């Protein structure tokens, strides 16, 4: 992830107020919080893990698909890949929207392909 945003997720525990991922989970507008972070480096210039960016992606997909992210992923990604055992975890306010954790049996052997289509 190389968006260049000011993001601190790896140097302090998630329970520390300086951890931006923890703050993202506490705000009423997680995607807005992530996108409001100042740019501190040229985008693409270096990689730094930012768990907030998948949050933004989840909200974009959810709004475009007009359905919760988890439902979209089960219907359009995991279902066609034959993955029936997937779990989404996140704060209650984001239920079905936030792709914090996705687990699926067999995903490593079929990643990106299924039913004759390429997904990734």
Instruction: Judge if pTM exceeds 0.85.
Output: no
Query: In the chain, what are the domain boundaries?
Result: 1-52, 67-120
Q: What is the b/e burial string over 60-92, where b = at least 16 CB atoms within 10 angstroms of the residue's CB?
A: ebbeeeebbbbebbbeebbeebebeebebebee
pLDDT tens, residue by residue, 54-99? 888 888 888 898 988 888 888 888 889 888 877 665 444 344 444 4
**Amino acid 97: pLDDT:** 41
| Rounded Cα distance, 84 and 43, in Å | 37
Using the predicted structure, report yes or no on whether residue 29 has a pLDDT greater than 80: yes
């Amino acid at each position: 992830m190389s968006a260049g945003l000011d993001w601190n997720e790896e140097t302090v525990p998630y329970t520390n107020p300086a951890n931006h991922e923890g703050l993202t989970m506490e705000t009423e507008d997680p995607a807005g919080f992530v996108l409001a972070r100042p740019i501190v480096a040229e985008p693409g210039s270096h990689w730094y893990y930012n768990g907030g960016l998948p949050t933004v992606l989840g909200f974009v997909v959810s709004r475009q698909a007009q359905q919760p992210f988890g439902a979209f992923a089960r219907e359009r990604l995991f279902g066609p890949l034959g993955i029936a055992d997937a779990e989404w975890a996140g704060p209650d306010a984001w239920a079905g929207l936030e792709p914090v954790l996705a687990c699926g049996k067999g995903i490593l052997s079929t990643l990106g392909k299924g039913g004759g289509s390429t997904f990734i």
